[in-house]
């Protein structure tokens, strides 16, 4: 077991991050050793929330050396140094120009993804990009063209397909455990960017800016979900969609989408939202497949220690609050393991000269589905929708 830090970050109007660290644990997993190779030299671009997870994951891998990290915020660079990174930069472009690398992890806000990929392409460095790949299919097309011209590989961090509970659903489905599946549903919730109430700090400004982030909850959470749908059922079509901004934000904080998978003959409903609940559900992703002979759900495939880990995390936070120290950000083990496995699969693929298992085209495809949902949502008159009463 190794300790892995997770940070929650607040971006001010200058798009700078302030982080509070948290500590969780994950299994190191196994990354195959590459014959005749001294391993891969990797850099982390952005040591914010998810960048910290990628940093700790890479540091835990055999035959991978994290040679440098870049972040505009001094506290984040300090964190990288404490984790064991020798060289840090306040400018990712300077890092890519100075360091000989095999791969770079782009864990920057979406509005910086294209520029970071272009800089990596100039240096001939393969990239693993945190989702979403880009803010639009148009931007993604430019990025992928740049990568192709430079001959670099592009991987995208779509981690739901690496979670053991989601993989368990896919395994049972492919084994035909419940026969034909005419209907499926997925609910994915989060409390970002405001966090649990009461909100005590200004939320990240770029996450509320559709030009900087690409969109709201449909964009941020939907890309994960659409990736899972096509991974399970093949090519999908968006049939209907609606979005809402319950907190009167510039971006939507809730979305419901009706999806059809023609090849599998399945109809799928998706709901994703950023809700400021005092306590989010222990499992914020609920995937359910209704087959003709039974039901498959991801909650049946949670790791045996899931609730034990959650309970330990809760108890630890109570103790920290009593002691007046910073509580940790809740992060169950298998979420971190999924990020580790996604990065490990990408690095193993490029080390062997293979296509990344989740490549740039797949990352672009999720954006295409999101854009289709936005277009249909724009055609939906909210006055035609009956607002349900919410039990209190």
**Phi and psi at residue 290, in whole multiples of 5°?**
-100, 100
Whole-number pLDDT of residue 205: 78
pLDDT higher at 335 or 39? 39
Share of the chain above pLDDT 90, in %: 65
Please give the average per-residue pLDDT across 65-86, as a whole number. Answer: 95
- Whether the per-residue pLDDT at 249 is higher than 90: the answer is no
- Whether the per-residue pLDDT at 18 is higher than 80: the answer is no
Average pLDDT score, the chain: 83
Please give the average per-residue pLDDT across 156-174, as a whole number. Answer: 96
Whole-number pLDDT of residue 348: 97
Whole-number pLDDT of residue 19: 27
CA-closest candidate to residue 303, choices 206, 93, 163: 163
Cα(269)–Cα(240) distance, integer angstroms: 10
pLDDT higher at 16 or 339? 339
Whole-number pLDDT of residue 191: 75
The residues, ordered by sequence, that sit 6+ positions from 60 with a Cβ below 8 Å of its Cβ are 2, 4, 26, 28, 29, 340
Quick: pLDDT tens for 285-337. 999 999 999 999 999 998 776 656 555 655 555 555 556 554 443 345 677 88
Whole-number pLDDT of residue 326: 42
Whole-number pLDDT of residue 38: 67
User: Per mean pLDDT, which range of 87-91, 173-177, 257-261, 281-285 is the poorest?
Assistant: 281-285
The residues, ordered by sequence, that sit 6+ positions from 238 with a Cβ below 8 Å of its Cβ are 257, 258, 259, 369, 372, 373, 376
Q: Model confidence at 274, in pLDDT bands (50, 70, 90)?
A: confident
At residue 232, the 3 state secondary structure works out as helix
DSSP states of 37-54: ---EEEEEE--SHHHHHH
Domain residue extents for the chain: 2-158+340-359, 161-320
Whole-number pLDDT of residue 4: 26
The residues, ordered by sequence, that sit 6+ positions from 51 with a Cβ below 8 Å of its Cβ are 44, 45, 69, 71, 76, 105, 107, 108, 130
The residues, ordered by sequence, that sit 6+ positions from 336 with a Cβ below 8 Å of its Cβ are 4, 6, 24, 25, 26, 53, 56, 57
Whole-number pLDDT of residue 275: 78
Quick: pLDDT tens for 208-239. 888 999 999 999 999 999 999 999 999 999 99
pLDDT higher at 64 or 304? 64
Cβ contact 211:243 at 8 Å: no
Q: What angle do CA 127, 188, 315 make, to 5 degrees?
A: 95
The residues, ordered by sequence, that sit 6+ positions from 53 with a Cβ below 8 Å of its Cβ are 4, 6, 336, 339
- Whether the per-residue pLDDT at 379 is higher than 50: the answer is yes
Buried b (16+ CB within 10 A) or exposed e, 14-37: ebebbbeebebebebeebeeeeee
* Architecture of domain 161-320 in this structure: 2-Layer Sandwich (3.30)
- The two three-digit tokens of residue 170, written as one number: 């896919």
The upper half-sphere exposure of residue 106, i.e. CA atoms within 13 Å in the direction of its Cβ, equals 31
- Provide CATH code, domain 2-158+340-359: 3.40.50.720
């Amino acid at each position: 077991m190794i300790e892995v830090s997770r940070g929650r970050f607040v971006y001010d109007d200058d798009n700078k991050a302030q982080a509070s660290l948290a500590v969780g644990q994950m299994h190191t997993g196994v990354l195959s050793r590459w014959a005749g190779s001294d391993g891969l030299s990797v850099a982390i671009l952005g040591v914010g929330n998810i960048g910290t997870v990628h940093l700790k994951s890479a540091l835990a891998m055999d035959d991978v050396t994290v040679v440098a990290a870049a972040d505009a915020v001094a506290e984040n660079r300090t964190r990288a140094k404490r984790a064991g990174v020798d060289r840090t930069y306040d400018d990712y472009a300077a890092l890519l120009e100075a360091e000989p690398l095999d791969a770079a992890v782009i864990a920057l806000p979406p509005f910086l993804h294209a520029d970071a990929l272009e800089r990596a392409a100039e240096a001939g460095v393969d990239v693993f990009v945190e989702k979403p790949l880009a803010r639009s299919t148009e931007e993604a097309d430019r990025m992928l063209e740049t990568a192709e011209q430079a001959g670099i590989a592009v991987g995208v961090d779509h981690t739901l397909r690496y979670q053991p509970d989601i993989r368990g659903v896919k395994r049972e489905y492919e084994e035909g455990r419940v026969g034909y599946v005419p209907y499926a549903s997925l609910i994915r919730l989060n409390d970002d960017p405001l966090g649990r109430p009461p909100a005590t700090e200004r939320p990240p400004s770029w996450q509320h800016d559709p030009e900087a982030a690409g969109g709201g909850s449909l964009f941020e959470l939907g890309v994960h979900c659409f990736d899972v749908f096509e991974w399970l059922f093949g090519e999908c079509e968006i049939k209907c969609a609606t979005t809402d901004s319950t907190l009167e934000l510039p971006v939507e904080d809730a979305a419901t989408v009706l999806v059809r998978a023609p090849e599998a003959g399945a109809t799928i409903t998706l709901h994703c939202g950023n809700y400021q609940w005092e306590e989010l559900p222990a499992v914020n992703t609920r995937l359910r497949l209704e087959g003709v002979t039974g039901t498959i759900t991801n909650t049946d495939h949670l790791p045996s220690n899931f609730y034990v880990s959650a309970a330990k995390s809760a108890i630890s936070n109570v103790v920290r609050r009593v002691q007046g120290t910073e509580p940790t950000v809740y992060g169950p083990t298998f979420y971190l393991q999924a990020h580790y496995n996604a990065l490990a699969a990408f690095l193993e693929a490029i080390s062997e000269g293979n296509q990344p298992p989740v490549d740039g085209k797949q990352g672009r495809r999720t954006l295409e589905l999101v854009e289709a949902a936005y277009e249909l949502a724009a055609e939906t008159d909210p006055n035609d929708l009956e607002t349900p009463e919410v039990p209190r």
